[in-house]
Structure 1
Amino acid sequence: MKMLTKLAAAAAFASGLAGAAMAQDIAVRGGQVYTMAGEAIVDGVVVIVDGKITAVGPAASTPIPDGLQLLEAEVVTPGLVDARTVVGLAGYLNQPHDQDQLDESKPIQPQLRAIDGYNPDERLVEWLRGFGITTIHTGHGPGALVSGQTMVAKTVGGTADEAAIVPGAMLAANLGPWALADGGKSPGTRSKQIAMLRSALLSAQSAGEEGDQSDKKPPSLDKQVLRSVLSGEMPLMVTAQRSQDIMSALRLRKEFGIDLVIDGGAESYLLTDELREAGVRVILHPTMARQYGDLQNASFTTASKLREAGIPFALQSGFESYVPKTRVVLWEAAIAAANGLAWEDALASVTIDAAKLIGVGDRVGSLEVGKDGDIALFDGDPFEYTSHVTGVVIDGVVVSDQAM
């Protein structure tokens, strides 16, 4: 099917990207509508009013109010969710002035906030948006033992505050070679990494057990953040690829009772029993990530193995130090679907499952009444190489009408 109308007037389009557009009232009709909240709807309709979904169902029984802009596509899905990226902090130019995803001045810096470095105008954000990605979990990347806090954001907004859904989502820590220091600096070994993390957590824990703080100085910023991890308010996301590093993270979870998320997990298929018993979620490395170094034992089939084991997981674009600078989770899910993961499970890994894992499943990730009006439109099977994204809607505003 062809688009029935031009997706947006130029003025509305421009102001929508600036974060100032008023939500449009839109109806989207698809030959196949994958709501991710039940069976796919053949010849389905999604109605969006004031930025929120107000109706979803078969076209034959879902009336479209008068005056709504009507869009059509062969396939309609929720806006895609990238469960882990550094886009917005890491820029496409790959030059020092647009690389804010890592501060190497100290190995442990939990006080660093992604929202303070996020650039909503970065061209990589626009690039992802054009492929139907409407929500990202972004922030400080690997390279330091504790590199900083992440945020969840929409891929539109004139400022970081307008884009943010969750300003402080998780605390990013890293184990293995990425976070080792050289030249005799700490941490120089895996054992020292864990010792330093334990020391930092114990120090924050002690600060919280000192009783009445009314006549004392408030705890330092780093301790405040670590105490939010200890209380379960903020998950600790640990980038760990090797099984030995994943096990070290699991020991930390057990010792401190923290909410642990494994990022990367190249060898997570070796520890499915341990991960399931611990109730740990996994943000799996990009399926097509280069398989060398800590990822030398990565597998195209890990996503299907985690699904079979009942371990909650999502796919991510991750961090690329050079080309391609960012991956596209749509393509990563397609490769997972070609290597043992069921088609709808692959779509779930970049929609509802990803949204739930990063804590925003009540707003995005599925097409349900009351949720944000975030939609991706395709001219064919989203996982088919020759298909294109023909439109993207975020909060009821058409933000892309260029076939990608």
Structure 2
Amino acid sequence: MKRRIILLTVFIFSLTTAIHAQLAVKADTIYTMEGPKIVNGIILVDDNKIATVGPADEIDIPANYEVHEASVATPGLVDAHSVVGLAGIFNQEHDQDQLETSDAIQPELRAIDAYNAREELVKFVLDKGVTTTHTGHGPGALASGQTMIAKTPYNTVEEALVDSSTTVAFTLTSGVSQNFDKPGTRSKGMAMLRQKFIEAQEYIEEKESEDPPSRNLTMEALAKVLNGELTAMITAHRAQDIMTALRLKEEFGFNMILDGAAEAYLVLDEIKEADIPVFIHPTMVRTYGDTQNASFTTAAKLHDAGIPFAFQSGFESYVPKTRIVLYEAGVATAYGLPREAALNALTKSPSQILGIDKLVGSLQEGKDADIVLFDGDPLEYTTHIRSVIVDGKVVKK
């Protein structure tokens, strides 16, 4: 009798899993981001992966598949840089973990230790089509901490986790001096960072010696930047700060992502020559302070210059604490960015920059079944999201 119960339980679980995980999406237009859009297409999902994508006249939908229909289907959106999960919706001290102000240089801080998968802002961006978010310690410190990548529908960080340590977030803006006693000026800030990187170089050498030093979490984090295990994500908006970031990269030879870049249009040639990607500031960023000269046309200019870039929600100091990358991309298209380039900067481009393009970012056989279904053009403000699918499961209807 006990064996029958076990077998029945296994059968019911298997049947439920199969029913839940096998589905089809029919759409008038499918943007796979792996080639031309497909008109009148079908996506088949088996378990948590995409099984096949193509024109409807070439694909038969199995009889037991759950079918979802939409005007447009795209890959799940990837927010290139956010603080959701560390910054909370209430804008109160108890839900604001994105910036530790006890020291201006703390690369050892880990987002995974603060990320709240149940935070309402995470659910909010999921409902707006963001299925993967690169989040963590935000701008405002010379080195504020490490970032992580998470899927948005899950209730614990362990379930959500895609990558536990992705970048170390650095900031070269005037805002740093407002949060800390030191540095007071840009040159002091750079001197402090350079000194720490020099110490990290020495730490690496000493670790290989016969008398290695005691573990130092700050040095370990910076050593990982120097040896390429972690990328330096440097927030810089003014042209002078962008150039300073490029000099720092050149001096120490680390991998770098330029973040923010409000005045990128003034130094496009230099950014392109440095061969670095950009997490562009939100198109509708408030234009004051370091972002005073931000432009609606920056995304189009980066595209025209052939510089890889992706849209981010960024850091918001006001309630509700986050922007929505879909809206930021939609505005950018009104100022010269081609529509498919905008979709690319919401999906495939951020996945490539973050090194997770084998999992997400496009609709391709074998990739995670993260799909957003729209009732119209995704970049039109009158369009609604009908459904969101993550890892083959419908998480928003």
Scaled to the shorter chain, the TM-score interval is over 0.9
- In the other structure, the counterpart of 1:319 is 315
1:74 maps onto 2:103 in alignment: no
Q: Does the 8 A contact of 2:18 with 2:47 survive in 1? A: no
- In the other structure, the counterpart of 1:276 is 272
Structure 2 gap ranges (5+):
1-16
Q: Does the 8 A contact of 2:78 with 2:347 survive in 1? A: yes
CA-to-aligned-CA distance 1:348-371 (integer Å, 9 cap, x gap): 111101111122111111000010
CA-to-aligned-CA distance 1:208-243 (integer Å, 9 cap, x gap): 112535653443011111011001111100110001
2: CA distance, partners of 1:300 / 1:26: 39
Among 159, 163, 169, the alignment partner of 1:162 is: 159
Shift in Å, 1:398: 0.4
Among 363, 369, 379, the alignment partner of 2:359 is: 363
1:232 maps onto 2:224 in alignment: no
Among 113, 118, 121, the alignment partner of 1:116 is: 113
- In the other structure, the counterpart of 2:348 is 352
Q: Does the 8 A contact of 1:82 with 1:315 survive in 2? A: yes
> For 1:199, what is the secondary structure of its paired residue?
helix
Pair 1:67–1:218, CA change in 2 (3 A): farther
Matching of residues 76-225 of structure 1 within 5 Å: 76-181=73-178, 185-210=181-206, 212-213=208-209, 215-225=211-221
2: CA distance, partners of 1:379 / 1:22: 25
Shift in Å, 1:383: 1.1
CA-to-aligned-CA distance 1:179-204 (integer Å, 9 cap, x gap): 11478x21110001111110111101
Q: Does the 8 A contact of 2:90 with 2:319 survive in 1? A: no
- In the other structure, the counterpart of 1:390 is 386
What amino acid sits opposite 1:289 in the alignment?
V
- In the other structure, the counterpart of 2:6 is none
Question: What TM-score does the superposition give when structure 2 sets the normalisation length?
Answer: 0.93
What amino acid sits opposite 1:368 in the alignment?
Q
Pair 1:201–1:389, CA change in 2 (3 A): same
RMSD: 1.5
Shift in Å, 1:33: 0.5
2: CA distance, partners of 1:93 / 1:149: 23
Q: Does the 8 A contact of 1:28 with 1:72 survive in 2? A: yes
> For 2:175, what is the secondary structure of its paired residue?
helix
Shift in Å, 1:389: 0.3
Q: Does the 8 A contact of 2:326 with 2:346 survive in 1? A: yes
Pair 1:21–1:271, CA change in 2 (3 A): farther
What amino acid sits opposite 1:175 in the alignment?
L
Among 39, 44, 48, the alignment partner of 2:45 is: 48
> For 1:180, what is the secondary structure of its paired residue?
helix
> For 1:177, what is the secondary structure of its paired residue?
coil
- In the other structure, the counterpart of 1:297 is 293
1:332 maps onto 2:328 in alignment: yes
2: CA distance, partners of 1:182 / 1:236: 21
Shift in Å, 1:62: 1.3
Shift in Å, 1:167: 0.6
Among 244, 256, 262, the alignment partner of 1:260 is: 256
Question: What TM-score does the superposition give when structure 1 sets the normalisation length?
Answer: 0.92
> For 1:216, what is the secondary structure of its paired residue?
coil
What amino acid sits opposite 2:354 in the alignment?
I
Pair 1:333–1:366, CA change in 2 (3 A): same
2: CA distance, partners of 1:128 / 1:235: 25
Q: Does the 8 A contact of 1:263 with 1:284 survive in 2? A: yes
Pair 1:91–1:329, CA change in 2 (3 A): same
2: CA distance, partners of 1:322 / 1:91: 11
1: CA distance, partners of 2:267 / 2:383: 36
> For 1:252, what is the secondary structure of its paired residue?
helix
Shift in Å, 1:385: 1.2
Structure 1 gap ranges (5+):
1-19
> For 2:364, what is the secondary structure of its paired residue?
coil
- Give the share of equivalent positions with the same residue, in percent: 53
Count of residues in Structure 1 that have an aligned counterpart in Structure 2: 381
- In the other structure, the counterpart of 2:5 is none
Shift in Å, 1:65: 2.3
